[in-house]
Structure 1
Amino acid sequence: MPSPSQVLLCYCTCPTAESAAHLAETLVGEALAACVNRVSGIQSTYRWKGEVTTDTEQLLLIKTTADRFEALKERLLALHPYELPELIAVPVERGHTAYLEWVRAAGGS
């Protein structure tokens, strides 16, 4: 179990630039994430309801902390247009110390 101040990098895909921007602005605006990068034009191939599908999506790279993750997840699931949104959190083991401290402080941790 990560410590509450553990910095996490979360991955989430969105169907459109508009939905990605709305999620990014909401998560940062509500101090659930310190920063969200939007990467456009990724190609995702996946199996959904028995069919192999390929779509163009937007990738969100969300920087947050372990103590904000559950609230971030609840908010993201409430706003996301997909029936089953991707949300994967990976602990950040190393990084620029000042940047990691900024991520921790951005949500009031």
Structure 2
Amino acid sequence: MVEIVIAQTTVDSAELAGELARGAVEARLAACAHIDAPFTAVYRWKGAVETATEWRVSYKTTRERLPALGVWVAQAHSYDVPEWIVLPVEGGSDAYLAWVAEEAGPGQASAVQ
């Protein structure tokens, strides 16, 4: 059985979020991507506490496609140290999980290898 995961990153603009989401799906690195509404992030960076508006991009993909997706996101990202978090999918609709596996599965062609 193909292992499905959700990978997440955050960006500082709706435009970049859209580019990262669409690009990964077009390259068949993810079956789909969701962009969350803007939220406030509070974090420590270079010794100072910062506040910023960010958008979260969540990718539904396979464990096998994850390394290529991670490289692609890192290259397309604007941050020095982008968030890259991977969450296991413990269950779900058989039909949905099969769709993710088919769309982002190891047999799918990709512009990024």
**TM-score of the pair, normalised by structure 1:** 0.93
Q: Distance in 2 between matches of 1:67 and 1:84?
A: 23
User: In structure 2, what residue type is equivalent to 1:44?
Assistant: A
1:40 aligns with 2:37: yes
Query: Is the CA contact (8 Å cut-off) linking 2:65 and 2:105 kept in structure 1?
Result: no
User: In structure 2, what residue type is equivalent to 1:103?
Assistant: V
1:62 aligns with 2:59: yes
**TM-score of the pair, normalised by structure 2:** 0.90
Alignment of 1:27-106 (within 5 A): 27-106=24-103
Unpaired segments ≥5 residues, structure 1? none
Q: Distance in 1 between matches of 2:26 and 2:15?
A: 16
Which string of whole-angstrom CA distances, capped at 9 and with x for unpartnered residues, describes residues 36-74 of structure 1? 000121111111111111111001111001000000000
Query: Is the CA contact (8 Å cut-off) linking 2:64 and 2:105 kept in structure 1?
Result: no
Q: Distance in 1 between matches of 2:46 and 2:34?
A: 29
Structure 2 counterpart SS, 1:93:
coil
Offset of residue 10 of structure 1: 1.1
Partner of 2:8: 11
In the TM superposition, structure 1's runs of 4+ consecutive aligned residues that sit over 2 Å from their partners are none
Q: Distance in 1 between matches of 2:47 and 2:37?
A: 26
Q: Distance in 1 between matches of 2:13 and 2:76?
A: 13
User: In structure 2, what residue type is equivalent to 1:96?
Assistant: S
Provide the identity percentage.
Answer: 39
